[in-house]
Amino acid sequence: MLVVDDDLALAEMLGIVLRGEGFEPSFVHDGDKALEAFRETRPDLVLLDLMLPGIDGIDVCRQIRAESGVPIVMLTAKSDTVDVVLGLESGADDYIVKPFKPKELVARVRARLRRTDDPTPELLQIGDISIDVAGHSVKRGDRHIPLTPLEFDLLVALARKPRQVFTREVLLEQVWGYRHAADTRLVNVHVQRLRAKIEKDPEHPEIVVTVRGVGYKAGPA
Amino acid sequence: MKAWITPTSAARRGLRVVRRSVRAALRKAYVSWRRSLQARVVTTTLVVSALVVAVLGVFLMQQITTALLEAKERAALLQLDEGVGVAQRQLAVGGSDNSETTKSRLNAIVTTLAHRSGPSGLYEVIILDRDDPGSVGFSSNWIRLKSVPAVLMRQVEQSDASKPYRTYGTLTYDDGSSKPGLIVGTKLSRYQLYYLFPLTQERQSLEVVQQTILGVGAALVLLLAAIASIVTRQVVVPVRMAAQAAERLAAGRLEERMKVRGEDDLARLATSFNDMAANLQEKIVQLQELSQVQRQFVSDVSHELRTPLTTVRMAAEVLYESREDFDPMAARSAELLQSQLERFEGLLADLLEISRYDAGAATLDIEPMDVRELVLRAVGYTEDLAERKGSKIIQQLPGEATMAEVDRRRVERILRNLLVNAIEHGEGKDIIVSVGADRDAVAIAVRDHGCGLRPGETNMVFDRFWRADPARARTTGGTGLGLSISMEDAQLHGGWLQAWGEPGRGSQFRLSLPRVAGAELRGSPLPLVPPEIELQRAPYAELELEADA
């Protein structure tokens, strides 16, 4: 796990907590070195502070996302709409607002690292998209579509029950692991990112369809 | 009641349509008259100049008429005078009293007199013999004696000799035609001599003059109106442009300016307008910058404080988790550290929220929500606390969905604050949450049966850091900002947050919100004073004091 944070004390504290939970964190304190460190360590998850010296967290997030689908969890002091949405749009999977409890942090991290070890091979089909759940791959025809694990989980959650409408709250629980209702912007932003990858025309989605006033569903309207 | 309207309903409908369109046109004209300075000036100029021209025209006509007729009269009297001389000479010649001969003699005289004016026949002459009514001399055959008015005849009859009289009358002819005329007459011993001047010529002249005056007058009035229109236009157009510029400025386009042309008053107006706009823009930009700085500061403080707080919080948590390994003093310290950090965190969050309000940076995130759902969530959040304090939360919710356009985060926060407040002061007794709604508004009331509020405190509860009783032990550790924030949240929605309370009878907080965001709230669907209290209330116990939202 890679922790990108400029605050040494916080980084050390995060290290204590994460090690206590059995993770092996490595640290980088500078936005400029974050990408380099990422390439070296190949972490399973990145904890990223949004406010960093050098390149700021949003740019780091974009750089990492550009070459990897690794789960990224942002640490942010601002819960204001703009910052959070900007962070999510730059590729972060989830965010935690400071100050947070250690348990909350660990829960978020575990939720992102959780791999549904499904031994039975499962093949799903929505529209012209085929999903190999065990093989963790999504194809349109023969063409492979690269998705981040989170986007994949979101798509699988929808595709397992085609035509069923999922509210944003239910998706938050199933995909992100929130037990209490949290920020539904997470869902909106990631549905848009997912659509940008799998839809032929993201403006007129056919795979992930919005049900006005309720939520989303997979498959034709 | 009006028999003339009866025909068919179609006709009546047609009439109504016409009447309506006429009324609409009139209203439109009236509105444009009221709105347009130019139209008003032109109308006024038209009316006033028309009046002036009319008065002048009438006066002029009178003057001309008088002059014309006076000249005519003078000429007529001269003519008469001359005629009298001639007639006297001719009458002195004759002798016989035979009526037949008299008549022919009179006719002869009259013909002579008439011919003196030339062949044009500018006038007719009549002579009559007073002693012999049958003897009348006519200058021409077709003039009738009737043309000489009886009044004039009497005047002449009764007058002294040779005094001329004149009057205006109508000359009547044998063929039935008649024309206006001037009649002069005088007594000539036993005869009466009348000259009758037709005024056809004069009348024609006057008609020409009248038409000229009318035409010139009308042209003058129109010209004046046109001039007024042009002149006011010169003034009004820049004023209109100023008004438009001001409107655009008011609409937020601060870079809007007027064109300055020349050095006249209008140019000065434009210059001052532009100065004003520039000053306004400067001030607004300054304020915006100030607010931006303030917002940035709040944001920075927030970040700067939160990062170390996060570290401290995590450290405290780790210590707290392993407190069993410590000696009792250190263990208790870890517990205190943990709980007080939570309080500190809440306080920081509330302070930041309040400062966001103070900076005017708070915005609403509106969506249609079922208010009952928000109540359920808030109750769910506070149930544990209520249980610990021994209170039961009783919900009185309407059966159907109670929709309103609200910011769910803020409304939920208000409800949580009200519930926590009620639990904290409820002394372990029941807490009632009721929801009411009417067409325009929804209301949520939270009632507790605790110590209540003293008179005057219903306003103070919303003050920052206000405490009901400073000496009382703090139990749940509220920040003292909860109700202030709730009040700000309610006001941001255009809603009311009000409190009622009486010592020993508990208190009630009522939140009223408009159903449609931005609508004005006129009343609340729920009473502020609980009904059971209202019923018991004696007339002298007017203790209610509302917190005006």
Identify which of A51, A100, A105 has the shortest CB distance to residue B303.
A51
**pLDDT at res. B549:** 39
Interchain contact, B318 vs A77, CB within 8 Å = no
| pLDDT, position B4 | 52
Q: Which residues contact B245 (CB under 8 A, 6 or more apart)?
A: B256, B257, B258, B273, B277
DSSP per position, B154-216:
HHHHHSPTT--EEEEEEEEBTTS-EEEEEEEEEEETTEEEEEEEE-HHHHHHHHHHHHHHHHH
The whole-angstrom distance between B420's CA and the closest CA on chain A is: 19
Instruction: Chain A: give the shortest CA distance to residue B275, in Å.
Output: 37
A98 and B318 in contact by Cβ < 8 A?
Answer: no
- Which residue type sits at A80? D
CB contact under 8 A, B299 and A102: no
Closest chain A residue to B296, measured at CA:
A78
* Cα gap A96→A73, rounded to integer Å: 7
Q: Which residue from B419, B43, B458 is spatially nearest to B229, judged by alpha carbons? A: B43
Given a contact cutoff of 8 angstroms between Cβ atoms, the answer to whether B502 and B453 are in contact is yes
Residue range B310-322, pLDDT digits in tens: 899 889 988 998 8
Which of the residue ranges B4-8, B57-61, B77-81, B422-426 would you say has the lowest mean pLDDT? B4-8
Distance separating alpha carbons of residues B238 and B217, to the nearest angstrom: 32
Q: Which of B317, B283, B232 is nearest to B43 (CA)?
A: B232
Alpha-carbon distance values, B10 to B14, B16, B49, B67 (Å): 6, 10, 45, 61
What is the rounded CA–CA span in Å between residue A31 and residue A17?
Answer: 22
> What is the per-residue pLDDT for B544?
46
Whether residue B336 lies within 8 A of chain A, CB to CB, comes out as: no
Question: Rounded to 5 degrees, what are φ and ψ at B261?
Answer: -125, 130
Q: Which of A11-25, B95-109, B252-266, B377-391 has the lowest mean pLDDT?
A: B95-109
Model pLDDT for residues A127-180, shown as the tens digit of each residue: 888 888 877 788 888 888 888 888 888 888 888 888 888 888 888 888 887 766
Give the residue with greater pLDDT, B256 vs A148: A148
Q: Given CB atoms, is B345 within the 8 Å cutoff of chain A?
A: yes
Mean pLDDT of A112-131: 74
Token pair in block for residue A183: 């920020």
Q: How far is CA B367 from the centre of its chain?
A: 37
For residue B415, the model assigns a pLDDT of 93
Which residues neighbour A190 within 8 Å (Cβ) at sequence distance 6 or greater? A88, A93, A150, A151, A154
> Residue A76: closest CA among chain B residues belongs to which residue?
B303
The answer to whether B391 and B432 have CB atoms below 8 angstroms apart is: no
In this prediction, residue B520 has a pLDDT band, given cuts at 50, 70 and 90, of confident
* pLDDT the model gives residue B194: 85
Of B188 and B337, which is predicted with more confidence?
A: B337
| Mean pLDDT (chain A, rounded) | 83
Question: H or E stretch including B113?
Answer: helix B99-116
Interface test with chain B among A29, A48, A80, A214, by most B beta carbons within 10 Å? A80
CA angle B358, B511, B427 (to 5 degrees): 100
The packing angle between helices A102-113 and B265-321, to 10°, is 90
Residue B345 has pLDDT above 70, yes or no: yes
Once rounded to an integer, what is the mean pLDDT over residues B488-515? 90
Could A78 and B299 be called an inter-chain contact, meaning their C-beta atoms sit closer than 8 Å? yes
B22 phi and psi, to 5 degrees? -65, -45
pLDDT at B540 over 80: no
B113: tokens are: 């007199």
Q: Residue B186: what pLDDT? A: 86
Whole-model pTM: value is 0.53
Find the mean pLDDT for residues A13-30: 90
Q: What is the pLDDT of residues B122-134, one digit of tens each?
A: 788 888 777 766 6
Selecting from B299, B306, B317 the residue whose C-beta is nearest the C-beta of A101 gives B317
Residue A104 forms contact with B (CB below 8 Å): no
- Does the beta-carbon distance from B307 to A7 stay under 8 Å? yes
B223-233 residue pLDDT tens = 998 998 898 88
User: Is A13 in CB contact (< 8 Å) with chain B?
Assistant: yes
Interior angle at CA A200, CA A197 and CA A204, nearest 5: 105
**Which chain B residue has its CA at the smallest distance from A99's CA?**
B310
Decide if A100 and B302 are in contact by the 8 Å CB cutoff: no
**Does the pLDDT value for residue B207 go beyond 80?**
yes
Structure confidence by residue, pLDDT tens digits, B378-412? 998 888 888 988 889 999 998 888 889 998 888 99
Which of A33-42, A181-190, B68-77 shows the lowest mean pLDDT across its residues?
A181-190
**% of chain A with per-residue pLDDT over 70:** 92
Structure tokens at B180: 């206006």
Q: How far apart are CA B421 and CA B480, in angstroms?
A: 10
Across residues B171-200, what is the average pLDDT?
A: 83
Alpha helices (H) in A130-201, listed in sequence order: 149-160, 168-171, 185-198
What tens digit of pLDDT does each residue of B25-34 get?
889 888 887 7
Q: Which helix (H) or strand (E) holds B381?
A: helix B371-389
pLDDT top residue among B144 and B75: B75
SS3 for B251?
coil
What is the average per-residue pLDDT within A82-92? 82
Query: Which of residues 29 through 88 in chain A touch B, CB cutoff 8 A?
Result: 51, 75, 77-78, 80-81
Q: Which of A12-16, B135-139, B236-240, B469-473 has the lowest mean pLDDT?
A: B469-473
Helix (H) or strand (E) holding B22, with range, is helix B9-35
- Above 70 in pLDDT, residue A114? yes
- Does residue A220 register a pLDDT over 70? no
Q: A86 falls in which pLDDT band (50, 70, 90)?
A: confident
Confidence bin at B121 (pLDDT 50/70/90): low
Contact A77 B308 (CB under 8 A): no
Which B residues in the span 260-299 are in contact with A, Cβ-Cβ below 8 Å? 299
What share of chain B has pLDDT > 70, as a percent? 89
> Please, which residues bridge with residue B511 across strands?
B444, B497
Instruction: Decide which of A54 and B120 is more confident.
Output: A54
Interface with chain A: mutation pick from B310, B340, B369, highest number of A CBs within 10 Å:
B310
Strand order across the beta sheet in which B136-138 lies: B136-138, B124-129, B191-198, B178-188, B165-172
Structure confidence at residue A79 (pLDDT): 63
Residue B219 reports pLDDT greater than 90:
yes
Q: Residue B308 is nearest to which of A9, A20, A78, comparing CB atoms? A: A9
Closest-CA residue of B relative to A51 is B303
**pLDDT computed for residue B497 by the predictor:** 92
Which chain A residues touch B299 with a CB distance below 8 Å?
Answer: 78, 80
- Tell me chain A's radius of gyration from C-alpha atoms: 17
Of B445 and B5, the structure prediction assigns the larger pLDDT to B445
Lowest mean pLDDT among A52-61, B5-14, B91-100, B199-208: B91-100
Give me chain B's average pLDDT, please: 82
User: Hey, is the C-beta of A20 within 8 angstroms of any chain B C-beta?
Assistant: yes
Best of A6, A8, A10, A51 to substitute, by most chain B Cβ atoms within 10 angstroms, is A10
Most confident of A47-51, B179-183, B397-401, B432-436: B432-436
- For residue B484, give every residue at least 6 positions away whose Cβ sits within 8 Å of its Cβ, in sequence order, or none: B354, B462, B463, B464
